[in-house]
Amino acid sequence: MTTEQNLVILTGYFSIDAARADSDRLAQLAADKTIRTEGVILVEKGADGKVTVSHTNDDLMSRMPQGLGARLMPGMAAILVVAPETDRLAVQQAMAGSLARSIAPIDNKGLTDALVEAVQKFVPDRTVLPIPDRTFGGTMGRTLHNSVPDWTMIPGPKAPGDAPNVLLVIIDDAGFGGPNSFGGPINTPNFERVQEMGLAYNRFHVTAVCSPTRAALLTGRNQHRVGFGSIAEYPGPFPGYTAAKPRSCTAFPRILKENGYVTAGFGKWHLTPDNVQGAAGPFDHWPKSWGFDHWWGFLSGAAGQYDPIITLDDWTLGVPEGKDGEPYYFPDDITDKAVEWLHAVRAQNASKPWMLFYSTGCSHAPHHVAKEWADKYKGKFDQGWDALREEIFERQKKLGIIPPETELTERPDAFPAWDSLNDVQKKLYARQMEVFAGYSENADWNVGRLLDAVEELGEMDNTLVIYIWGDNGASMEGTTTGSFNEMTFLNGIVLDAEQQLALIEQYGGIEALGSEHTAPHFAAAWAHAMNTPFQWGKQTASHLGGTRDP
């Protein structure tokens, strides 16, 4: 003789009144012996958040999974029934007020496990990814009349109801002493805006170069664990230095995606080895493989802000063109694209949470910015890098960024004292810093445009904003003289101030520094000032100037 199989039937309701009506109907049908049940549990969550449970079977109630009521939204309810397989259709038809259904057989795994399985359709186990697709919880009969639909059998995971949006912003090659809210000379009202809305960290650590910081940030693991002991351009033949994230590691954008988020990244990537950046792929280490639904930006570690090679998802588009005779400008473009993406997401789905990774090419060299931005700082660095460090240091103490008893580190002997320079050198170097400051302020202004877009959507209160001012310390790669073209450093060529000014005259003079005809970097002593109060900077892992950012 075959024993009839029992089922756990779980239904969800957006109306408590509808749930009560169906619960009463079930009780009446059971009393009339029209249907057979071993118990019914009604769970309600009132508008005030109070959970109320009523039931017809103490044993069933004792084995119900904990937390079902807590998972309901205010004003919602759920009914849980145990009934024989042959009564499945009648029971489900009695619960006509529900559109959300789940069914689990009580077989060898027992009642408790079947209850957990039924609940997990609505409250999935998010500790194991991917979350399984929702199974069919209705009934398929011979005709539509003898069938019960399940409108929750939608492919793909659904995020928790209270899941916040995530906006992750990271500036490139900046420094601890740059932003004005950290005592620096650069006007960063939007960095300060985020700071005032939440928390600011003055002991936030990064690695000393780009790729390792990004790898650690996007995975939550030590950079060596994910293959990025160095930058993506220099993979090595040892574990921890392959510049290739192992398949065993999942980046957090993918974790969010598998939990029902839509994800996108805009800007600089720097996590794809050089040898697989072409159209032939493979694409296992491109942004989409890290969990981004959409990507717009460049894959390399650096690019000209006027002429980057743009990658769209898994396609290399090439160098964009400007509009109306104006040069193309990458910082403005990625902000436009990010805002467009946010509006496109909301046009399709009004509630789906999003994760946006906004990674600027600034303030990495080349320091490209329009003259009007650099001119905002005209004359503000004529005092030189030594005096600037002291000014930043004193402001940091007044702001409480550093303890009042802190002592300022000395300028390394490798960097010349400002007072030892001639007028030609001072003229060039001061303009280099003006360009850098304008470049950095422009990046913050673009972040502000993105923040404004989130506010205009009415979503700032439900958005986790993380704004990191640098993936390492400010860069000293410009050498002691800075450069008219950053590629000179990479080729071992150092041009003195007179030689640089002579070249610059061919492209509009010193006022044109930062234009599309130049690719400048500032003198290393300016980077040292931007890392105040610490010593050294980018590439120097032994000192906090390379590894601490706001």
Would you list the DSSP string of 178-239? -BGGGT-SB--HHHHHHHHHS---SSEE--SSHHHHHHHHHHSS-GGGGT-SS-TT---SST
Residues 104 and 233 in one domain: no
CATH, residue 93: 3.40.1520.10
Residues 104 and 202 in one domain: no
- The residue segments making up the domain with residue 39 are 6-120
* Chain centre distance of CA 516: 30
Look at residue 137 and tell me if it is in a domain.
no
Residues 230 and 296 in one domain: yes
- How many Å apart are CA 171 and CA 440, to the nearest integer? 9
Look at residue 406 and tell me if it is in a domain.
no
Q: Which alpha helices (H) appear in 457-516, and where do they start and end?
A: 487-490, 497-504
Residues 93 and 205 in one domain: no
Residues 336 and 246 in one domain: yes
Q: Which of 450, 474, 481 is nearest to 463 (CA)?
A: 450
Domain final residue, candidates 65, 91, 120? 120
Q: Which of 140, 394, 356, 377 is nearest to 265 (CA)?
A: 356
For the chain, what is the domain count? 2
Q: What does each of the 550 residues of the chain score in pLDDT, given as a tens digit?
A: 456 788 888 898 989 999 999 999 998 998 898 999 888 889 999 999 899 998 888 877 877 766 777 778 899 898 999 999 889 899 999 898 887 888 888 877 778 888 888 877 777 778 888 877 777 888 888 898 888 888 777 667 888 888 999 999 999 999 999 999 999 999 999 999 999 999 999 999 999 999 999 999 999 999 999 999 999 999 989 999 999 999 999 999 999 999 999 999 999 999 999 889 988 889 999 999 999 999 999 999 999 999 999 999 999 999 999 988 899 999 999 999 999 999 999 999 999 999 999 999 999 999 999 999 999 999 999 999 999 999 999 999 999 999 999 999 999 999 999 999 999 999 999 999 999 999 999 999 999 999 999 999 999 999 999 999 999 999 999 999 999 887 777 788 888 999 999 989 998 999 999 999 999 999 999 999 999 999 999 999 999 999 999 9
Look at residue 411 and tell me if it is in a domain.
no
Look at residue 408 and tell me if it is in a domain.
no
Q: Which of 269, 276, 265 is nearest to 308 (CA)?
A: 269
Residues 113 and 190 in one domain: no
Residues 395 and 515 in one domain: yes
pLDDT for 1 equals: 40
Q: How many CB atoms lie within 10 A of CB 350?
A: 8
Residues 288 and 437 in one domain: yes
Look at residue 32 and tell me if it is in a domain.
yes
For residue 357, the surrounding DSSP H or E stretch is: strand 354-359
Look at residue 147 and tell me if it is in a domain.
no
Q: Which of 242, 241, 240, 269 is nearest to 253 (CA)?
A: 269
Residues 184 and 61 in one domain: no
Under DSSP, the state recorded for 3 is P
* Chain centre distance of CA 431: 34
Q: Is-contact 454 355, C-beta < 8 A?
A: no
Look at residue 290 and tell me if it is in a domain.
yes
CATH, residue 444: 3.40.720.10
Residue 80 dihedral angles phi and psi, to the nearest 5° = -120, 125
Residues 388 and 269 in one domain: yes
pLDDT for 61 equals: 81
Residues 265 and 377 in one domain: yes
Domain final residue, candidates 101, 120, 139? 120
Which residues 6+ apart lie within 8 Å of 515 measured at CB? 368, 370, 371, 507, 508
Domain final residue, candidates 105, 120, 135? 120
Residues 90 and 211 in one domain: no
Look at residue 413 and tell me if it is in a domain.
no
